[in-house]
Amino acid sequence: MKSEDLLARRLRDHGIRRVFGIPGGPSLPFMDAFRREGIEFILTSHEASAAVMADVTARVTGVTGVCHGTFGPGAVNLASGVGGALLDRSPVLALTSEVSDEWLGRTTQMHIDHQALFRPLTKATFRLNAANAEEVLCRSLEMANEEYPGPVHIGLPSDLAGKETDEKGGRTHSSGGAKSVAASNEICPGHDTSGAKPGNSERGLRFDRETTGSLPEQTEERVRVLTASARRPLIAVGLTAARAGIGETLARYLEKHSVPVVVTPMAKGVISSGHPSYAGVLFHALSDRLKRLVNSADLVIGLGYDPVEYNYESWLPDVPLVHFDTRASDLRIRGAIESLSAPDKWFEALTTLRSSPEMTRLAAEVRSEIRNEIYSKIPGFNPVTALAVLQEMLPLNTVVTADVGSHLHLLGQMWEVPPGGRLLMTNGWSSMGFGLPAALAAALAEPERPVVCVTGDGGMLMHAGEMITARRLGLKIVVVVLSDGELNLIKIKESRRNIRSSALQLYSDKLFGAERFLGAGVLQVTDTGQMRSAVKRALQSNGSTIIEATVDSSVYSELISGS
């Protein structure tokens, strides 16, 4: 089998049906092989968008995402999105064209060391050749899906296409410090590796050999003693828990153990915002109000709490910490107990935890305080008003993608993720421009569901070219641009540091000066009535719609906690 055919076959066998990116000359035989195997190559306007779309495809479908960039600038552009897959924990294969062996180390057009480029941004980086192709592909897919999931880079030498592969394989060198490929063959031909969909409590996480299946006896005893003696416990739920889909298990646990819960931004939706135990979102709008609850705790229990979103040290009181996760972390908290196990074991270890009606009542008070303070800003047309209209009018099964900026802090705290709905964001990587390509990926993966991107004007400008991708693919998305003409979050940070504001103004007047932009209808709104009408029209439209909501951004500085 030729190298390009083997790559396409292995991706297809794994359940991959789309590759996102921009092709180059050497990659054309691979594109053709993808076509023959029924894998669609999705042309994007920018390689960073391709990596975001691969990331979000993996989150939504549970199948590894794949993206591609060509030599030099293509690979560098791709890298900024690949970093998102690393810190937001998504299984992705990043493919790039590389120079042939005879040109390694030589000076030539568009050539940089892709292995060095991707090493800090991936779990491992490989260079494919005809002898190691089978082994590299199996190991790369396996590594991408092991806990924590993340991206793996594979370099495709420019003269690789057309070469016959060695079916016996060979020893593989990984400059990312990977374990021996021969150690496991879990994701090789003949195995179903598609996985369950995110949000399903049955979703299985692929553990590597350093992850234990249950708690060591000594650790289990220490956890039992701490949880049995706690009078005011607090549970903090994070990104790992969200990926594991523990929502139903957590809800059943809380029926017997009335304990308050806080969540990190990417874990929003694991527990309903209306649940009696729910208190709020750490790090996002008005999260300083959570201090009253947090400082009352005598024990904090982290369930799948990934510090990549928000370090414990940024909010943890001086009380014992029990940290449950699937991978060892770099905790530097004196006396913390770290328990590495499968998610179902976490709850087995917490059977002795007592209910705390006092803390649960306090959680309800804090939750109500945050909500009331946010919704007190409804008068006038501002981000709170616009998001409240969206929350009211969108179907329950809507997928909402959120870009980075002041609006994310607000949306992350106030948005209620209904049953069947989904909220997608980046918080580990936290890169502006995420929202629009994420929306396209969601619409491709689940075309039967409404998809809405909420972005600021700064984030929209970074990847606005992807609106032509939506038009070409016939996708229907609604893009809500909360328009204030500035980089507001940076403005707030400048103000809090008493730094004179400069170079933050994006434009004057309107962002969009026409009724259409790259094939999408543009609706301008400046009040609540117009917002309602625009959302209704957008949902009824047959194509994509951009709603430019010109908002009063002054409420952000009142609602966003210290940044």
CATH of residue 228's domain is: 3.40.50.1220
Number of C-beta neighbours around residue 149 at 10 A? 23
Residues 6+ apart with CB under 8 A from 233: 227, 259, 297, 298, 299, 300, 301, 353, 354, 356, 359
Mean pLDDT of 91-101: 95
Which pLDDT score, from 0 to 100, does residue 221 have?
87
Mean pLDDT of 389-406: 97
Which pLDDT score, from 0 to 100, does residue 106 have?
81
Helices 73-87 & 47-61, crossing angle to 10 degrees? 30
Which pLDDT score, from 0 to 100, does residue 96 have?
98
* Whole-number percent of the chain with pLDDT over 70: 91
For residue 63, tell me if it sits in a domain. Answer: yes
Q: Is the pLDDT of residue 366 over 90?
A: yes
Task: Work out the pLDDT band at 194, boundaries 50, 70, 90.
Answer: very low
Task: Work out the pLDDT band at 497, boundaries 50, 70, 90.
Answer: confident
* Token couple for 5: 């055919």
- DSSP letters spanning 412-424: HHH----TT-EEE
Q: Is the pLDDT of residue 474 over 90?
A: yes
Q: What angle do CA 407, 411, 412 make, to 5 degrees?
A: 115
Please check whether residues 323 and 256 belong to one and the same domain.
yes
The candidate with the shortest Cα–Cα distance to 114, out of 138, 93, 97, is: 97
For residue 196, tell me if it sits in a domain. Answer: no
Please check whether residues 145 and 58 belong to one and the same domain.
yes
Which pLDDT score, from 0 to 100, does residue 152 have?
98
Q: Is the pLDDT of residue 563 over 70?
A: no
Please check whether residues 382 and 353 belong to one and the same domain.
no
How is residue 465 annotated by DSSP?
T
Question: What is the C-alpha separation between 205 and 214, in angstroms, rounded?
Answer: 14
Task: Work out the pLDDT band at 457, boundaries 50, 70, 90.
Answer: very high
Last-in-domain residue among 183, 206, 228: 183
Which pLDDT score, from 0 to 100, does residue 209 have?
39
The four Cα atoms 435, 440, 442, 448 give a dihedral, to 10 degrees, of 130
Length of the chain counted residue by residue: 563
Mean pLDDT of 199-206: 40
Q: Is the pLDDT of residue 199 over 60?
A: no
Mean pLDDT of 471-482: 97
Question: What is the C-alpha separation between 495 and 453, in angstroms, rounded?
Answer: 28
The helix (run of H) or strand (run of E) holding residue 370 is: helix 357-375
For residue 204, tell me if it sits in a domain. Answer: no
Which pLDDT score, from 0 to 100, does residue 382 have?
95
Q: Is the pLDDT of residue 180 over 80?
A: no
Which pLDDT score, from 0 to 100, does residue 193 have?
37
Mean pLDDT of 341-364: 95
Q: Is the pLDDT of residue 204 over 90?
A: no
Q: Is the pLDDT of residue 480 over 50?
A: yes
How is residue 287 annotated by DSSP?
G
Residue with more model confidence, 208 or 25: 25
Which pLDDT score, from 0 to 100, does residue 187 have?
53
How is residue 70 annotated by DSSP?
-
Q: Is the pLDDT of residue 214 over 70?
A: no
Q: Is the pLDDT of residue 195 over 90?
A: no
State whether residue 50 is helix, strand or coil: helix
Question: What is the C-alpha separation between 96 and 121, in angstroms, rounded?
Answer: 14
Kindly tell me the burial class for residue 4, based on how many C-beta atoms sit within 10 Å of its own C-beta (0-12, 13-18, 19 or more): buried
- DSSP letters spanning 103-149: GTTS--TT---HHHHHGGGSSEEEE--TTTHHHHHHHHHHHHHBSSP
For residue 384, tell me if it sits in a domain. Answer: yes
The candidate with the shortest Cα–Cα distance to 460, out of 424, 436, 443, 438, is: 436
Question: What is the C-alpha separation between 519 and 543, in angstroms, rounded?
Answer: 8
How many domains in the chain? 3
For residue 137, tell me if it sits in a domain. Answer: yes
Of 421-425, 448-452, 499-503, the poorest mean pLDDT is in: 499-503
Please check whether residues 397 and 251 belong to one and the same domain.
no
The candidate with the shortest Cα–Cα distance to 89, out of 418, 326, 280, is: 326
The candidate with the shortest Cα–Cα distance to 453, out of 469, 442, 468, is: 442
Please check whether residues 292 and 221 belong to one and the same domain.
yes
For residue 202, tell me if it sits in a domain. Answer: no
15-40 pLDDT per residue, tens: 999 999 999 999 999 999 999 999 99
263-320 pLDDT per residue, tens: 999 999 999 999 999 999 999 999 999 999 999 999 999 999 999 999 999 999 999 9
Mean pLDDT of 456-470: 96
Q: Is the pLDDT of residue 515 over 70?
A: yes
For residue 545, tell me if it sits in a domain. Answer: yes
Residue with more model confidence, 490 or 405: 405
Q: Note whether 82 and 122 are within 8 A (CB).
A: yes
Total-model pTM: 0.91
Which pLDDT score, from 0 to 100, does residue 109 have?
79
Q: Is the pLDDT of residue 190 over 70?
A: no
Task: Work out the pLDDT band at 491, boundaries 50, 70, 90.
Answer: confident
Please check whether residues 391 and 523 belong to one and the same domain.
yes
Residues 6+ apart with CB under 8 A from 356: 230, 231, 232, 233, 258, 259, 260
Question: What is the C-alpha separation between 52 and 44, in angstroms, rounded?
Answer: 11
101-124 pLDDT per residue, tens: 887 888 887 889 999 999 999 999
Number of C-beta neighbours around residue 109 at 10 A? 7
Kindly tell me the burial class for residue 548, based on how many C-beta atoms sit within 10 Å of its own C-beta (0-12, 13-18, 19 or more): buried
Please check whether residues 238 and 328 belong to one and the same domain.
yes
* Whole-number percent of the chain with pLDDT over 90: 79
Q: Is the pLDDT of residue 490 over 60?
A: yes
Segments in 21-113 forming alpha helices (H): 28-36, 47-61, 73-87
Q: Note whether 415 and 423 are within 8 A (CB).
A: yes
Please check whether residues 94 and 159 belong to one and the same domain.
yes
Q: Give, in order, the Cα–Cα distances in Å from 434 to each of 37, 89, 262, 278, 537.
A: 30, 15, 25, 28, 25
Question: What is the C-alpha separation between 333 and 92, in angstroms, rounded?
Answer: 32
129-175 pLDDT per residue, tens: 999 999 999 999 999 999 999 999 999 999 999 999 875 444 444 55
The candidate with the shortest Cα–Cα distance to 473, out of 29, 24, 54, 40, is: 40
Which pLDDT score, from 0 to 100, does residue 206 have?
59
Q: What average pLDDT does the structure give for the chain?
A: 90
For residue 44, tell me if it sits in a domain. Answer: yes
The candidate with the shortest Cα–Cα distance to 442, out of 483, 475, 410, 409, is: 475
Please check whether residues 407 and 314 belong to one and the same domain.
no
Last-in-domain residue among 339, 369, 399: 369
Please check whether residues 457 and 520 belong to one and the same domain.
yes
Q: Which domain holds residue 113?
A: 3-183
Question: What is the C-alpha separation between 79 and 31, in angstroms, rounded?
Answer: 20
Which pLDDT score, from 0 to 100, does residue 184 have?
35
Long-range contacts of 309-317 (CB under 8 A, 24+ apart): 309/238, 309/239, 309/264, 309/265, 309/266, 309/283, 309/427, 309/428, 310/264, 310/265, 310/282, 310/283, 310/427, 312/336, 314/283, 315/282, 315/287, 315/290, 315/291
Question: What is the C-alpha separation between 457 and 216, in angstroms, rounded?
Answer: 50
**CATH number for position 499:** 3.40.50.970
* Token couple for 461: 């400008």
Please check whether residues 540 and 432 belong to one and the same domain.
yes
Residue with more model confidence, 362 or 380: 362
Number of C-beta neighbours around residue 232 at 10 A? 17
Beta strands at 516-517 and 520-525: parallel, antiparallel or unpaired:
antiparallel
Residues forming a β-bridge with 233: 299
Number of C-beta neighbours around residue 493 at 10 A? 14
Last-in-domain residue among 164, 183, 202: 183
Please check whether residues 483 and 346 belong to one and the same domain.
no
